[in-house]
Structure 1
Amino acid sequence: MTSIMTNAAAMAALQTLRTIDTNLETTQRRVSSGYRVETAADNAGYWSIATTMRSDNAALSTVADALGLGAATVDTAYTALDNVIDVMTQIKAKLVAASEPGVDKEKINEEMKQLKNQLVSSAQSASFSGENWLYNTNPAALGTKQVVSSFVRGADGSVEVTTLNFDTAESVLLDSFDASRGFLTKDIDADALMSTPTGTARNYFLLDISSTTPATGTEIEISMATTDDELSDMISVVEELLGQLTDAASTLGAITSRIEMQDSFVSNLMDVIDKGVGRLVDADMNEESTRLKALQTQQQLGIQALSIANTNAENILTLFK
């Protein structure tokens, strides 16, 4: 039936054209944005996952910055500690040289004073962004320092920031409040270092920085009156300090290595998350460009079909002539 009131062919052509226009708009939006899922309306599930993972990636980026700061702090402490070990080695050599007969112990002591000043300078200079793990000027101990290492999201959606911990009791060289908390300011019993201790304590310390609670032993310094037994005790104490400082440097080195590994892991993890999000929401540009061309052709054909449908209705007028 042909009707001038209802043009079924035109309505069908118009409906088809509307569908084509809707699909064309969607495809053009994907081509221009590069996303298959750009808003929650496109795919609520994938959009929610992508949004959460992008947020986590931003947190991981902050973790990477924190790891860089932590690495710089640890590197600064390690560099200063390495220098301290070198200076301590020289002090040990001076004490051994002082054991030789006829040597001028006063001159050797003057050299040792300069080396001690270098120890203080190294410890005080080991500061990065206000953090100094070798020199404590606070009434309380420095305690455990933390370096942010990762951002973790649990299966239940809970989040947690994990840290690398370092006890500064293993690295403090100087303590201006309590000398016993610093490697170079604390007392060390030379008798306890002997293979057969006598039971009578002979305490020595290396540096006197006028701590509020000072060491009670004898400062390691020499004069012409220093005996061979005293020199032997001092050498034993310095050797013990060298061993403790070497252990501290090893610990810092291990933490540096761990931070480097974690930094590399976080960078790789961020890349993997980006790829995973991309698989969920990114548009396949080859596919979309092909679909765009097809829809543009369909649109032209839809317009042509609508025009034909309207023209057929106009042909009815010829029946009334």
Structure 2
Amino acid sequence: MTSIMTNTAAMGALQTLRSINSQMETTQDRISSGLRVGSAADNAAYWSIATTMRSDNKALSTVEDALGLGAAKTDVAYTAMENSKDVVDEIKKKLVAASEPGVDKSKIQKEIKELQSQLVSIAKSASFSGENWIYNDTNNTAATKSIVGSFNRDAQGNVSLTTLQFDTNKSSLIQVDSTGTNVTNGTGLLSSNMEYKLATNGATVTAGYSVLTMDITNMTMGALAEAISGVDATLLQMTDAAADLGALNSRVELQQNFVRDLSDSIEKGVGRLVDADMNEESTRLKALQTQQQLGIQALTIANTNSQNILSLFR
């Protein structure tokens, strides 16, 4: 039945055209944003997961920066420790030279004094971002330092931080009090009393001076031998401290690489959930454009049918 009051064909064509236009709008949004799930309305579950993981990834980016800062601190401390060890090695050589008969110890002492000043200079310079793991005073005491290593989220959604810790008492070379005087009974490797072992019975004996304060000008041959043993013991402790710093530096570097890879993996995972397949969307857009043209043609035909009724009355 043909009616001029109700154009059923036009209504059907218009409804189809509206559906096509709605799909085209969705497809165009995906193409322009690159996202298949751009809001909670698209897919609430995937949008919620993606939003949380993006937030966690930003936290991981901050962790990576913190690890970079920690790596810089350990690098500076390790470099200072290595250079200080070389200087103490030189002091040991001077002590051996001073043990030769007929040597002017006062001249060698002048060289040792310059090396002692160099040790202080190295230690004071080993500072990064206000922290010095080598030189300690009342404003920068030796303590356990923490480096943020990772950001964690458990199955219940609770978040936590993993930290890498290092006790700077192990790497402290020089400790001074409020007056700037070396703390000889502290744990600073250079400012504390030197320790050495007697070859006869292995007993530990403490000398009354440190690497930084010793003066060999009037030392006897026996005292020089004791000083060499003390400096050698200090070198062994410095080697251990350098090994600890090197191990921490390696751990920080490994953690940096892990955090960087983890961040990339999270980003890829989020992309699989919400990113649009541009090949698929472009193909769909072409199909919808064709359907739109056909829908417009169908609506035109449906509207023309009612006008054709006029020809029946001519």
Question: How far apart, CA to CA, are the structure 2 residues paired with 1:197 and 1:276?
Answer: 62
The SS at the match of 1:182 is coil
Aligned length: 308
Shift of 1:83: 0.3
Checking the alignment, whether the CA contact within 8 Å between 1:150 and 1:162 is kept in structure 2 is yes
Q: CA deviation at 1:319?
A: 2.5
SS in structure 2 of the partner of residue 42 of structure 1: coil
Tell me the distance in 2 between the aligned counterparts of 1:22 and 1:277.
Answer: 26
For 2:215, the aligned partner's letter is: E
Consecutive unaligned residues in structure 2, runs of 5 or more: 178-182
Q: By how many angstroms is 1:139 displaced? A: 6.6
Q: Match of 2:225?
A: 232
1:206-225 per-residue CA deviation (whole Å, 9 max, x = no partner) reads 22xxxxxxxxxxx42211x3
Q: After the TM superposition, which of the residue ranges 290-299 and 39-48 deviates more from structure 2?
A: 39-48
How do 1:144-293 and structure 2 match up within 5 A? 144-177=144-177, 178-179=183-184, 180-190=186-196, 192-196=197-201, 202-207=207-212, 219-223=213-217, 225-293=218-286
TM-score normalised by structure 2 residue count: 0.94
Match of 1:317 among 304, 310, 314: 310
**Cα shift readout 1:165-193 (whole Å, capped 9, x = no counterpart):** 00001011111124313111111344x55
Q: Is the 8 A contact 1:204 1:234 kept in 2?
A: no
Greater CA drift, 180-189 or 54-63: 180-189
1:19 alignment partner in structure 2? 19
Paired letter, 1:174: I
**Residue 181 of structure 1: SS of its match in structure 2?**
coil
- Say if 1:141 and 1:181, in contact at 8 Å, map to a contact too: no
Does the CA-based 8 Å contact 2:195-2:205 persist in structure 1? no
- Percent identity, please: 61
Equivalent residue for 2:291? 298
SS in 2 for 1:74: helix
Q: Is the 8 A contact 1:189 1:203 kept in 2?
A: no
Hey, what's the Cα distance between the residues in 1 that align with 2:161 and 2:16? 54
Q: Summarize the Cα distance change of 1:23–1:13 in structure 2 as closer, same or farther, 3 Å threshold.
A: same
**Structure 1 gaps, min length 5:** 208-218
**Structure 1 length-normalised TM:** 0.92
Q: Which amino acid aligns with 2:247?
A: A
CA distance in 2, matches of 1:55, 1:152: 12
Change (3 A) 1:245 1:34: same
